[in-house]
Amino acid sequence: MTKKIAAIIVSLFLFTGACYAQRLDKFVSETGKVVRINKEQSIPYREVITYFGYIKPGSEPDEIRDSLNYYNFYFWLSDSVSEIGVRIISPVPDVVMPDRGDLTSENYFENEKNKENYFDTWISLERADSIFTKGEALLNQKKINWMLLGSNDDSPELFVQPSGKNSNSLVRIVSNPVNRLSRGLYKIAFTSPKQKELKGSYILQLGMTSKLQETKLVKKLPELK
């Protein structure tokens, strides 16, 4: 074997290994477990909604809280679920691309190759309090009180950012008698605790243990109609 051929084989091996390492793992639940080959494994969420987005430098945030810029998503649960998970990764890895059925922002594809811009993530899941129907939520948007169910800053489950740090975020919420994941309106909010301005691509996923009809993930509340 010549040195040139050997070098090509090594390069292909390293490239393949790098791509594999960056692939997005299945979004698995905390409560669902199955034993396979004498080993307990987590079960992927039955329903996963994926959104590919890009925040252009200088963009206006959806809201400002405690001097931090927040970007929001909303969804309506038509029935109770036993567990919800949300995770966000920035920037979108090179080998991860939108698939059929995935959601994308209007400016995503024109910026998907830009991996220089990204942000240190923080994510939360909130539920609207005292809103009983979707119609009431849409008519009383300014009167909605939000209850924090859980949040996360740095998750070791997700691969590192280009900085080499575990700065991507994942939170799982398990329904319990005190905080039931019941029918109603929910909000996913993300920001960066270390960066004043968020910019760059990201992939956000909502996972649920039950597959419900007509579950939509939207950027604006009126889009839930």
How far is residue 91 CA from its own chain's centroid?
12
DSSP state of 116: S
Classify 103 as helix, strand or coil: strand
Are 83 and 180 a contacting pair, CB within 8 Å?
no
Q: pTM of the predicted model, to two decimals?
A: 0.86
Residue type, 134: K
* pLDDT interval class at 21 (50, 70, 90): very low
Identify the H or E element spanning 5. helix 3-22
Cα separation, 146 vs 125, in Å, equals: 10
**pLDDT of amino acid 122:** 97
List strands edge to edge, sheet with 184-191.
63-65, 68-77, 184-191, 122-129, 145-152
Interval 166-202: pLDDT, tens: 999 999 999 998 889 999 999 999 999 988 999 999 9
Are 171 and 154 a contacting pair, CB within 8 Å?
no
Per the prediction, the chain carries an average pLDDT of: 87
Burial of residue 182 (CB within 10 Å: 0-12, 13-18, 19+) is exposed
> Is the per-residue pLDDT at 16 higher than 90?
no
Cα separation, 55 vs 213, in Å, equals: 30
Are 67 and 198 a contacting pair, CB within 8 Å?
no
